Amino acid sequence: MSMQTLTPRETARRRLLDALRREGPLARVEIGQQLGMSPASVSELTASLLDEGILVAEEGGDALPGLIRGRPKVRLFFADTLGSVVGVWTGFNRIELRLVDSAGRNRASRHVERPLRNLEAEALMDALADTISAFARDAGAPDVKAIGLACQGYVDTRDGVVAWSPVLGTRDLPLAEGLRQRLGRPVLIENDASAMAFAIAQRDPALRSGRTACLMIGDGVGLGFLVQGELYRGARSGGSEFGHVRLRRSGPQCRCGGRGCIEAFLADYALHRDAQLIDHRPPPASLIPSEAAMGAIVDKARAGDAALLGLFREAGEVLGDAASILIQTLEPDRLVICGPGTRAMDLLRPSFEAALESQTIPALRSLATVQVVESSLDLLTEGVVMQALRELDLDLARLKAA
């Protein structure tokens, strides 16, 4: 991806493309309202983008407010012939893949069970590259322009390095460059909680203003923090490892090697581990329980199992404590609870809300709204696909030499 400075005209093109990527198809008048541009400027920019085949126009629908009654609006959207991107999520010995065309339409998806945890760096990158190549080939997508990859753990997005991940067996992995060399395509990598936060914010315009903290629960516990719809980055351009904040020094074992982390009480593997001790259920085939295994625990708790209800009650308290820490340290406008772990939110909610109210300074608690977004792993690949498409839009915004 080129880092050259954009000219003023290219910057205007980029803003226009970004609005269409964010909001979906828009009419020219709507583009002008979104960007504060004059009708003449919008017409000039869109005319060139249409001529270059970057945008296409579609007529239909009702008249826009203020226009002649019955006159059809003309919405502009991305052409689907500009190439495609592949989104990838790496979990514990599993890979989720998604193919999306340049218009943002899903074309194919795949779930792959493949051993990754014990592979050395080169073998790991070979395995990922082979899996991505096979998926793109089988999906009939020879025009892949970029790959976006979401990974658990501490991800340095600037240098494309996975410094540490609980699902990979190697540290300081130069994943972006390693995959770029193998696939011959630009590779963007992201922490998976940040990827989910970005995807959720793209779906809900209300989350793209102010400060939004997305607390993801599921395989682990992660945090994506957005300011005006853009991901907040740390000193190494990474995200937060909020799930590894220690709550209790003598607490349960966490995957990071420490004890008493938020994740060690709340993640799927922690809940399943404790459920095994309660009702002697068989251990999962891997360290991370399946969705079916977690669903069985939730169903049994809902049926009235007192011990399992107690397990979710304690997890809800931890979730409330975690939310209180976030509100009192970051002062977000909104706190979003998301991720596959929201499957049990009805069981977590009573103790979550009680802990949140009792542990949070009232003046700060009143500043933040809390909402739950039921979400699956699909949002992880959706988030990195959107980011990869935006990077491609940067190249599309550049004026080609005559």
Q: Tell me the pLDDT tens digit for each residue of 347-397.
A: 999 999 999 999 999 988 898 999 999 877 788 899 999 999 999 999 999
CA distance 221 to 227: 20
In angstroms, the Cα distances linking 347 to 245, 324, 342 are: 23, 19, 10
Confidence of residue 235 (pLDDT cuts 50, 70, 90): confident
At 180-213, the pLDDT tens digits run 999 999 999 999 999 999 999 999 999 999 999 9
Dihedral (Cα; 196, 200, 201, 206), 10-degree rounding: -150
Q: Kindly list the distances between the CA atom of residue 315 and the CA atoms of 144, 150, 270, 337, 396, in Å, as whole numbers in the listed order.
A: 42, 26, 10, 14, 47
| 65 C-beta neighbours (distance < 10 Å), count | 6
Of all residues in the chain, what percent carry a pLDDT higher than 70? 94
Lowest mean pLDDT among 204-208, 279-283, 300-304, 359-363: 279-283
Poorest-confidence range of 69-73, 217-221, 355-359, 375-379? 69-73
Cα(259)–Cα(342) distance, integer angstroms: 24
- CATH architecture designation of domain 8-79: Orthogonal Bundle (1.10)
The amino acid at 202: Q
Q: Which of 11, 320, 111, 250 is nearest to 19 (CA)?
A: 11
Entry pTM: 0.90
Q: What are phi and psi of 20, to 5 degrees?
A: -65, -35
CA–CA distance, 80 with 105 (Å, rounded to integer): 8
Phi, psi at 162, each rounded to 5°: -95, 100
Q: What is the pLDDT of residues 132-185, one digit of tens each?
A: 999 999 999 879 999 999 999 999 999 999 999 989 989 999 999 999 999 999
The pLDDT tens digits of the residues spanning 86-123 come to 999 999 899 999 999 999 999 999 999 999 989 999 99
pLDDT at residue 141, as a whole number: 81
pLDDT for position 367: 87
CATH 3.30.420.40: which residues of the chain? 84-196+380-393, 209-372
Q: Which CATH number fits domain 84-196+380-393: 3.30.2130.30, 3.30.420.40, 3.40.1190.20, 2.60.40.1730?
A: 3.30.420.40
In this prediction, residue 239 carries a pLDDT of: 76
The shares of helix, strand and coil residues in the chain, as percent rounded to the nearest 5, are 45, 20, 35
Strand partners, 221: 217
Angle between helical axes of 8-23 and 39-51 (0-180°, round to 10): 80
Average predicted confidence (pLDDT) for the chain: 91
pLDDT at 63 over 60: no
Burial of 278 (0-12, 13-18, 19+ CB in 10 A): middle
Q: What is the DSSP letter of 53?
A: T
CATH 1.10.10.10 in the chain, residue ranges: 8-79
Highest mean pLDDT among 38-42, 61-65, 256-260: 38-42
Query: What was the pLDDT predicted at 68?
Result: 42
CATH topology classification for 209-372: Nucleotidyltransferase; domain 5 (3.30.420)
* CB 269, CB 285: distance < 8 Å: no
What is the rounded average pLDDT of the residues 34-45? 96
Give the whole-angstrom CA distance, residue 33 versus residue 120. Answer: 52
